[in-house]
Amino acid sequence: MTNLKVLNETPISEVDLKEKLEAIKKRDKELTKKATKTVEYLNTFVSLKHKDAEDIKKRILNLNIPRLKDRHIAKILDIMPQEIESLKMLFTGENITIKQEDLAKILEELQK
């Protein structure tokens, strides 16, 4: 087995993953069995368009919430919570606390 070296890790949302897999499918004409199953899952459960996801991501980043990282934003885009309690659940187990006002701002951006 070959030794793989991870150069960098970047969290991506399901919307981004769907777009990347579609690009690979166009390039290679065929996906592996696991990738095909993943595309089926994403087609079933991801309804957000890539352009809309990018727009929401930019708006959340513009809120300048301290300690909110790309991986948190990717989780938010994947789940698209509709109430504060659901949004709080995304940060369970994380070493981050977000003010109630900031959570309300994030929800406001998601509902636009």
Structural domain count of the chain: 2
- Measured distance CA(91)–CA(88) in Å, rounded: 6
What's the token pair of residue 21?
Answer: 């897999």
Q: 71 with 86, same domain?
A: yes
Are 73 and 25 contained in the same domain? no
- Express each pLDDT in 62-80 by its tens digit: 999 988 999 999 999 999 9
Taking residue 69's Cβ as centre, other Cβ atoms within 10 Å add up to 12
pLDDT over threshold 90, residue 94: no
Same domain, 34 and 74: no
CB atoms within 10 A of CB 33: 7
Q: Which residues of 97-108 are buried (b: 16+ CB within 10 A; e: fewer)?
A: ebeeebbebbbe
- pLDDT averaged over the chain? 91
SS3 (DSSP) at 49: coil
Task: Give the model's pLDDT for residue 12.
Answer: 92
**95 and 68 part of one domain:** yes
Q: Which two tokens stand for residue 84?
A: 């504060």
- Domain of 88, in residue numbers: 50-111
Residue 33 has pLDDT above 80, yes or no: yes
Tell me, yes or no, whether 106 and 60 share the same domain: yes
Which pLDDT band holds residue 3 (cuts at 50, 70, 90)? confident
pLDDT of 15 > 70? The answer is yes
Check residue 26 and give its pLDDT. 93
CB 76 within 8 A of CB 60: yes
